[in-house]
Amino acid sequence: MGCRFRAASGTGFSVGENGGTTATDLGLRTMTAATSLSELNRGQGVPFDASSNLKITRRDGTTVSIDLSNALTIQDVLDAINAVDPGNLVASLNAVGNGISLLDNSGTGPLIVESNAVAVALGLAGEEDSGDPANPLVGEDVNPREATGVLTILAELEQALRRGDDQELQRLTTLIDDEINRFNQVRAELGSRLKLLDDIENQVRDQDLVLQEKLSEKLDTNLPQTLTELLQQQQTLEATLALTAQSFRLSVLSFLT
């Protein structure tokens, strides 16, 4: 049924399914069973500790607590949930988009995943209260991709400041430092290129002076000999100009990609 693409400036993008398996088959899906938990939430991962088990209140009112501290991938999470009550409590990847879906046919009450650090990091915190066991609790996509560059960082910085998201601000601080270092490298490279152009300009001027001197000296001498020497000087000047033209074809954009 095709792929599902979602993108928004400053908030990342994702490639998910649209009811089929096309994105997975093409290797484009951005959240698969093989996705490492350390990659989730833009590299911040999932904060496992003894007090942060995944806690699920099933439709029959019973509660299960699942220890995911040994999980390394999304598949490990799915396996741990599916082992609780095989065939009745079922975890799988979302059929549309990305994320994890939960199905529970134990009753007709609400299906609830308690909101804690683990549940939020997995995109599973929430409730499905339709009372229909066929309706899944659909988790959020917690593995978005993001464009690189200053504009994306600034957009995400604004959003993090508005939310007061200290963890995201720490991540963005590292990215800002990386961009500053990159710009310093570009500036140094541009400085080196400009110095090269200055040196070439001086060489061209020196060659011009030499040509003028040769022309002045040889006006009254043998014409064939003068033309030969002038041709040699012209070839030297043309080689210098060719090097200059090659250097000028490098623009600032060459260093910003």
Task: Write the pLDDT tens digit of every residue in 189-229.
Answer: 888 888 888 888 888 888 878 777 776 766 655 666 767 77
6 located within any domain:
no
The pLDDT of residue 58: 96
Beta bridge partners of 96: 18
123 located within any domain:
yes
Is residue 97 within 8 Å of residue 14, measured between CB atoms? yes
For residues 120 and 192, membership in a common domain is answered with no
For residues 119 and 194, membership in a common domain is answered with no
- The total number of structural domains that make up the chain: 2
Identity of residue 51:
S
For residues 252 and 156, membership in a common domain is answered with yes
Q: In what order do the strands lie in the sheet with 96-97?
A: 3-8, 12-18, 96-97
Cα pseudo-dihedral 158, 162, 163, 167, rounded to 10:
40
Task: Write the pLDDT tens digit of every residue in 93-146.
Answer: 998 878 899 999 999 999 999 999 899 999 999 999 999 999 999 999 888 776
8 located within any domain:
no
For residues 123 and 204, membership in a common domain is answered with no
Among 79, 105, 138, residue at a domain's last position: 138
Across 116-127, b (16+ Cβ under 10 Å) vs e yields bebbbbbbbbbe
Cα pseudo-dihedral 199, 205, 206, 207, rounded to 10:
110
In terms of Cα–Cα distance, which of 123, 168, 169, 176 is closest to 148?
176
For residues 83 and 115, membership in a common domain is answered with yes
For residues 44 and 114, membership in a common domain is answered with yes
Q: Measuring CA to CA, how many Å separate 38 from each of 14, 27, 48, 128?
A: 17, 19, 11, 27
10 located within any domain:
no
21 located within any domain:
no
pLDDT at 20 over 90: no
Is residue 237 within 8 Å of residue 200, measured between CB atoms? no
Q: pTM for this structure?
A: 0.57
Among 88, 110, 138, residue at a domain's last position: 138
For residues 121 and 193, membership in a common domain is answered with no
pLDDT at 12 over 80: no
Whose structure tokens read 């090269």? 196
Measured from the Cβ of residue 253, the count of other Cβ atoms closer than 10 Å reads 7
**E strand residue ranges, 110-221:** 111-113, 126-128, 137-138
Phi, psi of 96 (to 5 degrees): -125, 130
Q: Could you give the percent of the chain with pLDDT greater than 70?
A: 77
Measured from the Cβ of residue 148, the count of other Cβ atoms closer than 10 Å reads 11
For residues 123 and 174, membership in a common domain is answered with no
47 located within any domain:
yes
The domain of 201 spans 150-256
**Residue 218 contacts by C-beta under 8 Å, 6 or more apart in sequence?**
225, 226, 229, 230
The pLDDT of residue 6: 52
238 located within any domain:
yes
The pLDDT of residue 218: 60
The pLDDT of residue 251: 52
**Residue 49 contacts by C-beta under 8 Å, 6 or more apart in sequence?**
69, 117
When the pLDDT of each residue in the chain is averaged and rounded to a whole number, the result is 80
For residues 113 and 165, membership in a common domain is answered with no
Taken in order 103, 78, 94, 171, the sign of the CA dihedral is positive
The pLDDT of residue 255: 45
167 located within any domain:
yes
For residues 53 and 74, membership in a common domain is answered with yes
For residues 69 and 130, membership in a common domain is answered with yes
pLDDT at 86 over 90: yes
For residues 183 and 252, membership in a common domain is answered with yes
Among 110, 138, 166, residue at a domain's last position: 138
